[in-house]
Homo-oligomer: A and B are copies of this chain.
Amino acid sequence: MDWTRKKLYSQYDKWSADYLLALQAQAAQSDFRPTYHIAPTSGLLNDPNGFSFFNNQWHLFYQSFPFGPVHGLKSWVHLVSDDLVTWHNLGTILNADTAYDSHGAYSGSAMVIEDRLFLMYTGNVRDKDWVRHPFQNGAYLDTDNHLTKLSLPLIKQPAHVTDHFRDPQVLKKDDTYYALLGAQDANTKQGKISIFKSNNLTTWEDLGYLNFTQQDMGYMIECPNLVTVNEKPVLIFCPQGLDKNIINSDNIYPNTYLIGDNCQLKNGEFHSTHNIELLDHGFDIYASQAFNAPDGNAYLVSWLGLPEIAYPTDSENWAHCMSVVKKLTIRNDKLYQEPVAAFKNYRKCHAELHGMLNEHQQIVITENATLSYELEISFLQNQQGTLSLLSSSNSKGLRLNFSTSNNAYFEIDRKDCGIPFATAYGTKRRVALEDNAPLKLHILIDHSTCEVFVNGGEFVFSQRIFPNDDDLQILLASESEVIYNGDWWKISNMTH
């Protein structure tokens, strides 16, 4: 399809049901469709939105363009879950259909207000000269999952920011509501986080920018999230155009976090003695959204995709999926991420894996690991080797290279895993590990997704991969002697 501006921004009633049904069937039939990750019913999925707990269920929404693998006129699709693992898709709920969101119901967040869920989102509006006017809008979801939009926007673009002003996170501190927004300063064209406050969720006062760093955050910050983890404030955000001296990432845009010592939103102060860190060390995490749940935990979910990158399923007319939901903790001043505990309820067909390789040996650990599994595997210290997932006699697969000796590291190389893509951004991602310490990997594979939790979630590597149907082996190759111990489980299907 030739994606003209007119096509991209056509109202949904201008598309035919016939075309939509064909796209839905194409997406459902894809060999790359994950079975336990949220994927779009058709077309494109991007940012997670409105992640919350309301009316005794977990709620999550995704940014949707149902008519192709492109960023067209966005709406929200609504999902609910009882356990943060199985999600039920309740369909499109927030459409771009008013004067204040005519060109897209863009990203936002949610907060429970009495017996309703308050949604705050960016309405994208273009005027006849195609000048963008971002509005921060409100809507309420009731306990019957019916949505009512507020008739007027809550926040209009202030003079000190450009039209890059979006992704409100609504928060409550003491008895005051706050909204954090991704912004670009009008004078400096630098990326900023805007703060607004309100006593009633209706009238909002501009508090300027959040003061969280002296460093230059590039030209835009998207998707700011402030969350409390083990009693510390953590700021999660997506700086665009960041200097590599600040965050050395090969991804087009990184998703980063900063642990704070204290945060006073009313003064716009986020004080930190830490460095800004990469949230995920893999190839494809962006637009993460976190929130503090009533169970006392902080949970995170991410778009498992990046802007401006072509993905192999574009040719199948659908694109992207969500990460699994991760629980956040802080240990030793580091942010740890782990899959939620309910995952264990979906394990099937356990296999124990253990053995020893001499140096320069290669063995098939599992001949048919399927395309939907969980693998926990540990290596002793002073070992070097490569664990190859999704490999076959014809394919080297996804290589996880590691050393637990001196200059210890963990590295993912997706160069030879199925269909190559985004190779201009490199095919390897690596972190240095503590020298001479054992290594523990917790790996989730789901057709076209791979999420690796290193050492209990100290580092996470999340990425899309597009293996062949018959790349089902798990291989282990040793440089040194390698002793491994692990468990494999098939994961049953669960995302609806």
Contacts and interface: CB of A to CB of B under 8 A. Distances in A.
A114 interface: no
Given A25-B93, A145-B29, A88 B493 contact: yes
B20 A21 contact: yes
Contact of A67 (B11, B17, B92): B17
A493 B21 contact: no
Interface in A1-57: 11-22, 24-29, 41
A66 interface: yes
A89 interface: yes
Given A13-B16, A16-B15, A21 B90 contact: no
B19 A13 contact: yes
Contacts of A21: 12, 20, 66, 91-92
Interface string A150-179: 000000000000000000000000000000
A334 interface: no
A63 B357 CA distance: 56
A496 interface: yes
B13 A17 contact: yes
Contacts of A26: 91
Contact of A12 (B13, B17, B67, B493): B17
A255 interface: no
Nearest to A82: B493
A86 interface: yes
Contacts of A28: 88-91
Contact of A496 (B17, B29, B493): B493
A190 to B, nearest CB: 39
B12 A18 contact: yes
Most buried by B among A11, A15, A22, A29: A29
Nearest to A24: B91
Interface in A473-496: 493-496
Given A86-B493, A493-B496, A18 B13 contact: yes
Nearest to A14: B16
A92 B14 contact: no
A482 to B, nearest CB: 35
Nearest to A93: B25
Interface in A68-91: 78, 86, 88-91
Contact of A20 (B20, B25, B493): B20
A237 to B, nearest CB: 31
A494 B35 CA distance: 12
Contact of A18 (B11, B93, B145): B11
A265 to B, nearest CB: 35
Contacts of A19: 13, 17
B25 A92 contact: yes
A93 to B, nearest CB: 6
A85 B12 CA distance: 35
Contacts of A86: 493
A493 B92 CA distance: 21
Contacts of A88: 28, 493
Interface in A86-144: 86, 88-93
Nearest to A20: B17
A14 B29 CA distance: 24
B25 A91 contact: yes
Interface string A257-277: 000000000000000000000
Most buried by B among A89, A91, A92: A91
A496 B495 CA distance: 8
A384 to B, nearest CB: 39
A14 B21 CA distance: 13
A88 B492 CA distance: 13
Contacts of A24: 41, 91-92
Nearest to A79: B28
A94 to B, nearest CB: 11
Interface of A: 11-22, 24-29, 41, 66-67, 78, 86, 88-93, 145, 493-496
Given A13-B17, A28-B91, 13 more contacts: A11-B18, A12-B16, A15-B16, A17-B19, A17-B20, A17-B67, A21-B91, A21-B92, A25-B90, A28-B89, A28-B90, A29-B145, A495-B496
18 contacts: A12-B16, A12-B18, A15-B16, A15-B18, A16-B16, A17-B19, A20-B20, A20-B21, A21-B66, A21-B91, A21-B92, A22-B91, A24-B91, A24-B92, A25-B90, A25-B92, A86-B493, A496-B496
